[in-house]
């Protein structure tokens, strides 16, 4: 119901005994209460259950009129009282469960509503309203297949029900979308596992992702060659260049020829014009982190975060301490990435410095601390 619906109800003093939510201290002082008690004592279980059903229905009517949740809650209490009598009239008990399902629907308690509607159907398979309420609750729970089953069963009883037919169409559409999403997810996982197996089979190792290239991701081409985005970092200014798609068979020299070749504008911040093609040196950070397993890599390729590990980042000491390794730019990208000490931090990253420059000497002297 709307946000304006309030939970509180009027006090007992404002209501006849029929609408009390709790018994006052001296109920015998109220004539209508005594009459109701006498009526209950003289009535059969079926009559009492019917009375509770009617009281619940009246509260649903009042709730809809006054826009107060309080009366929906009260209706559920009375339907429950009717159910607890355990009378022998299956149709009546089924109606009580179905009506309580409606109350739960109106309060947004979808799972309770579905459970009650199913119970109503189990007791009386001809309870048409229960099928509608079960389907409605199932859709709210995003259980489209259950909604389809409920709608189809209801339509078998009443083929002309436009409400059930409309809901069935909605449920089938949602179920189709769910199946398409599941198939897409399955295909993504399959592709991720295939790519992870190919890269690890070629000796390319990854640690938990620290860097990524927007709009680019690793892939396999039709020949089974790995393609990766590359990051070229200028540690002197921490600016970067990006190659969206580099093949494992490429050499780094090919990319440097394009980036610093004849006719290319010099870097705007390179006042000394040190970053010319003949001076360019590339380095990668060895032992950038603890490698992921193949399964973890596949999950990372799907976009999942790798599990937290105390040894995930680069180490400063020990045999696997992080250090700068100069790249042979004439080697293929695969040969560089597959080096035993090369662990890719999400995306292959190469640090670009100008040979013979003061900054290059500082960069190598202070190691990782130079960043």
- Indicate if the pLDDT at residue 52 is higher than 90: yes
Residue 185's CB is within 10 A of a number of other CB atoms, namely 11
Cβ-proximal residues to 26 (8 Å cutoff; 6+ apart), any chain: none
- 3-state DSSP of the chain: CCCCCECCCCCHHHCCHHHCCCCCCCHHHCHHHHHHHHHHHHCCHHHHHHHHHHHHHHHHHHHHHHCEHHHHHHHHHHHHHHHHCCCCCHHHHHHHHHHHHHHHHHHCCHHHHHHHHHHHHHHCCCCHHHHHHHHHHHHHCCCHHHHHHHHHHHHHHCCCCHHHHHHHHHHHHHHHHHHHHHHHHHHHHHHHHHHHHHHHHCCCCECCCCCCCCCCCCEECCCCCEEEEEEEEECCCCEEEEEEEEECCCEHHHHHHHHHCCCCCCCCCCCCCCCCHHHEEEEEEECCCCCCCHHHHHHHHCCCCCCCCCCCCCECCCCCECEEEECCCCCEHHHHHCCCCCCECCCCEEEEEECCCHHHHHHHHCHHHHC
Q: Is pLDDT larger for residue 7 or for residue 196?
A: 196
pLDDT-derived band at 13, boundaries 50, 70, 90? low
Q: Give 188-243 pLDDT, tens digit per residue.
A: 999 999 999 999 999 999 988 666 778 888 999 999 999 999 999 999 999 999 99
Six token digits for residue 131:
């099928």
State the average pLDDT for the chain.
88
Query: Which of 139-153, 170-184, 282-296 has the lowest average pLDDT?
Result: 282-296
Q: What is the pLDDT of residue 7?
A: 47
Q: What is the pLDDT of residue 41?
A: 62
Strand partners for 285: 324
Six token digits for residue 359:
């900054």
Distance between CA atoms of residues 269 and 78, nearest Å: 79
pLDDT-derived band at 262, boundaries 50, 70, 90? confident
- Indicate if the pLDDT at residue 358 is higher than 80: yes
- Indicate if the pLDDT at residue 17 is higher than 70: no
Residue 345's CB is within 10 A of a number of other CB atoms, namely 21
**Beta strand pairing call for 219-220 and 323-326:** unpaired
Domain ranges, ordered by start, for the chain: 12-175, 219-370
Query: Which class is domain 219-370?
Result: alpha beta
Residue 148 sits at the vertex; the CA angle it makes with 145 and 149, to the nearest 5 degrees, is 90
Q: What is the pLDDT of residue 289?
A: 86
Query: Which of 38-42, 54-58, 114-118, 301-305 has the lowest average pLDDT?
Result: 38-42
Q: What is the pLDDT of residue 109?
A: 97
- Say if pTM beats, i.e. exceeds, 0.95: no
Q: Is pLDDT larger for residue 357 or for residue 209?
A: 357
Return the half-sphere exposure (C-beta side, CA atoms, 13 A cut-off) of residue 4: 4
> Homologous superfamily of 12-175 in CATH?
Tetratricopeptide repeat domain (1.25.40.10)
Cβ-proximal residues to 58 (8 Å cutoff; 6+ apart), any chain: 18, 19
Q: What is the pLDDT of residue 222?
A: 94
Return the half-sphere exposure (C-beta side, CA atoms, 13 A cut-off) of residue 75: 27
Query: Which of 9-18, 72-81, 194-203 has the lowest average pLDDT?
Result: 9-18
Q: What is the pLDDT of residue 1?
A: 40
**Range of 28-37, 299-308, 346-355 with top mean pLDDT:** 346-355
- Indicate if the pLDDT at residue 76 is higher than 90: yes
Cβ(133)–Cβ(102) below 8 Å: yes
**Beta strand pairing call for 349-354 and 323-326:** unpaired
Mean pLDDT of all residues in 65-72? 89
Q: What is the pLDDT of residue 36?
A: 60
Q: Is pLDDT larger for residue 30 or for residue 129?
A: 129
Q: What is the pLDDT of residue 2?
A: 42
């Amino acid at each position: 119901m709307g946000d304006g619906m309030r939970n509180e109800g009027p006090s007992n003093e404002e209501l006849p005994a029929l609408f009390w939510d709790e018994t006052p201290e001296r109920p015998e002082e109220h004539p209508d209460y005594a009459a109701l008690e006498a009526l209950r004592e003289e009535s059969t279980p079926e009559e009492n259950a019917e009375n509770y059903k009617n009281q619940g229905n009246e509260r649903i009517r009042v709730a809809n009129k006054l826009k107060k949740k309080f009366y929906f809650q009260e209706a559920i209490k009375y339907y429950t009282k009717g159910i607890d009598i355990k009378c022998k009239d299956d149709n009546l008990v089924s109606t009580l469960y179905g009506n309580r399902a409606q109350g739960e629907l109106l309060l947004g308690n979808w799972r309770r509503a579905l459970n009650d509607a199913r119970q109503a159907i189990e007791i009386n398979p001809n309870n048409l309203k229960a099928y509608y309420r079960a389907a409605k609750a199932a859709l709210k729970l995003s259980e489209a297949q259950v909604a389809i089953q409920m709608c189809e069963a209801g339509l078998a009883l009443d083929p002309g029900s436009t409400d059930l037919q409309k809901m069935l169409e909605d449920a089938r559409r949602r179920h189709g979308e769910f199946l398409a999403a599941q198939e897409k997810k399955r295909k993504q996982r399959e592709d991720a596992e295939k790519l992870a197996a190919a890269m690890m089979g070629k000796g390319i190792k990854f640690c938990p992702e620290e860097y990524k290239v927007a709009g680019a991701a690793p892939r396999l081409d039709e020949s089974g060659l790995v393609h990766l985005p590359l990051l070229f970092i200028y540690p002197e200014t921490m600016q970067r260049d990006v190659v969206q798609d580099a093949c494992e068979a490429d050499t780094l020299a090919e990319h440097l020829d394009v980036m610093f070749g004849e006719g290319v504008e010099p870097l705007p911040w390179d006042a000394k014009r040190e970053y010319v093609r003949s001076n360019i040196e590339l380095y990668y950070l060895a032992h950038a982190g603890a490698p992921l397993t193949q399964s973890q890599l596949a999950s990372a390729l799907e976009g999942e975060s790798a599990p937290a590990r105390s040894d995930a980042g680069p180490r400063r000491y020990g045999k696997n301490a992080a250090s700068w390794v100069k790249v042979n730019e004439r080697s293929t990208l695969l040969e560089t990435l597959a080096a035993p000490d090369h662990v890719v931090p999400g995306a292959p990253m190469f640090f670009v410095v100008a040979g013979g420059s003061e900054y290059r000497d500082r960069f190598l002297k202070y190691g990782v601390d130079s960043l």
